[in-house]
Amino acid sequence: MAVSMYQASVPVFIKGLTNLRALLAKAIAHGEAKKIDDAVFVNARLYPDMLPLSGQVQIASDMARGTMARLTSAEPPAWEDDEKTIADLVARIDKTIDYLKSFTASQIDGSEAREIKRKIRGQERTFTGVNYLLQFSMPNFYFHTTTAYDILRHNGVEIGKLDFLGSLD
């Protein structure tokens, strides 16, 4: 059985974002239990030259949203990166999931060979749809969701690998 572009994208992004939302919920509970201000987590970073948690969640959201739009030859909707609280980040994730759910398999399937042009670090790159999804978007999405996990874990939130993976069914 072949895996379709839709199967390799929308459900995968939704699961990753759903798991990220659950990690953020654990951060909220941890912060409340330990009397840690939300801003500590939202602004936390692993290293001074890395983006904070807020940036990691924003880019993961942008990757999912932008990929799906581009696979359908649409321009992704522009969203402000103005989240200040964990609840704001959760709302962004929910908004992204709602956007992803608006796509149907018939819109995405067949986009394997679609030409997608993107500027990356100032240089224009041309991808096929399948290469854009599997070699650019998914690795970036997982990089930023993993970094968000790492920031939360580094800051004492009690999460583990199964929290990142979510349900395995």
pLDDT tens digit sequence for 84-109 = 999 999 999 999 999 999 999 999 99
DSSP assignment letter at 107: H
- Whole-number pLDDT of residue 2: 86
Question: Residue 85, exposed/middle/buried by CB under 10 A (0-12, 13-18, 19+)?
Answer: middle
The model's pLDDT over 104-132, given as tens digits with 9 standing for 90+, comes to: 999 999 999 999 999 999 999 999 999 99
Q: β-strands 123-128, 115-120: how paired?
A: antiparallel
Q: Which fold has domain 10-165?
A: Four Helix Bundle (Hemerythrin (Met), subunit A) (1.20.120)
144 contact partners, CB below 8 Å, separation of at least 6? 56, 57, 59, 60, 63
- Whole-number pLDDT of residue 5: 97
CA distance 46 to 57: 14
Q: What is the mean pLDDT of the chain?
A: 96
- Whole-number pLDDT of residue 168: 84
* 1 pLDDT above the threshold of 80: no
Alpha-carbon Rg for the chain in angstroms: 16
CB 71 within 8 A of CB 111: yes
CA distance 59 to 143: 10
CA distance 89 to 83: 6
Question: pTM above 0.85?
Answer: yes
